[in-house]
Amino acid sequence: MTRKIASLRDIADGYDAIVLDQWGVLHDGTTPYPGAVTALQRLRADGCRLAVLSNSGKRAAPNAARIAAMGFAEDMFESVMTSGEALWRDLHDGAIAARRFFAIERAAGDAAAWAQGLDISLVDLDNAEAVLLIGLPDGSALPDWSDVLHAACARDLTVYCSNPDRHSPRADGLVVSPGALAFEYAARGGTVQFYGKPHVPVFDALQRHLGASRILMVGDSLEHDIAGAQAAGWDSVLVRGGLYATAFAGGEMADVLAQLVAQHGVAPPTFTIGHLQ
């Protein structure tokens, strides 16, 4: 049975490290959630080891800088691991054979900046060996990409998706994330290679880096954070104020949670909390 907690400090002593999702847990994309910085400062003062595991298409360093700019001290987190970093490392290490990629990015130049240090080329779709999906422009809708998906599928191009999230919380609501486009491509018969949560390798990589055995994952997505933590053998905390804030605001917590876990086909999280406290 999922235990409702008021503060992470109530359970922190039971773990070697606490790993936190980024969007929907630490911040809404632009602003930290009320109390989040203070909550983590208190955990650090208690001696807790903290890390971030994010389904971000960007590499670890830009994400660490983004978090620091929002008021989370640079030394607050022992490690910041992103799905974009995991994909970059596989390309750098030669685990992926393709060298010519058609890039789908949030803003012009994102892919070029991400690819620095790699022996790859960013080309048009007709000359690509694969598709690099690291972001979507703000305001994107799936029908906007129908022609691109059709052309990529016709050429049997693999899509490497560095953000499996279908939606992400922002200050003004949810936005479509790269995972939604990748799943649509897969539904059309295309091949997709996902990086990030809930896929176990990214959890294992972070666990090896931390050298910890008892790890607690704090996230707002049952599909990614909670399911991934369960597959990796970690306990988990579901933050109710992120991705599912509207659902939890409209009913009794236990009933809403039961409906959500059934909908997503995952086991209930170990704990649940409203916001970081």
Mean pLDDT over 12-36 rounds to 95
Greatest pairwise CA separation for the chain in angstroms: 55
Rounded to the nearest angstrom, the gap between the alpha carbon of residue 108 and the centroid of all alpha carbons in its chain is 21
pLDDT digits over 210-230, tens only?
999 999 999 999 999 999 999
pLDDT class of 165 with cuts at 50, 70, 90: confident
Q: Which residue has the higher pLDDT, 190 or 74?
A: 190
Can you give the pLDDT at residue 172?
66
pLDDT of 56 above 90: no
pTM for this model (two decimals): 0.84
Can you give the pLDDT at residue 214?
98
SS3 assignment, position 170: strand
Beta partners for 161? 133, 194
Beta partners for 170? 173
Mean pLDDT over 96-117 rounds to 96
Mean pLDDT over 58-80 rounds to 94
pLDDT of 170 above 90: no
Q: What is the 3-state secondary structure (H, E, C) of 198-267?
A: CCHHHHHHHHHHHCCCCEEEEECCHHHHHHHHHHHCCEEEEECCCCCHHHHHCCCHHHHHHHHHHHHCCC
Mean pLDDT over 73-88 rounds to 93
Of the listed ranges 11-20, 49-58, 167-176, 236-245, the least confidently predicted one is 167-176
pLDDT of 88 above 70: yes
Can you give the pLDDT at residue 29?
85
High-pLDDT (> 70) share of the chain, %: 99
Contact present, 27 and 70 (Cβ < 8 Å) = yes
Mean pLDDT over 115-124 rounds to 97
Angle at 57 between CA 56 and CA 63, to 5 degrees: 55
SS3 assignment, position 67: helix
- Average model confidence (pLDDT) across the chain: 94
pLDDT digits over 236-255, tens only?
999 999 999 999 998 999 99
Can you give the pLDDT at residue 21?
97
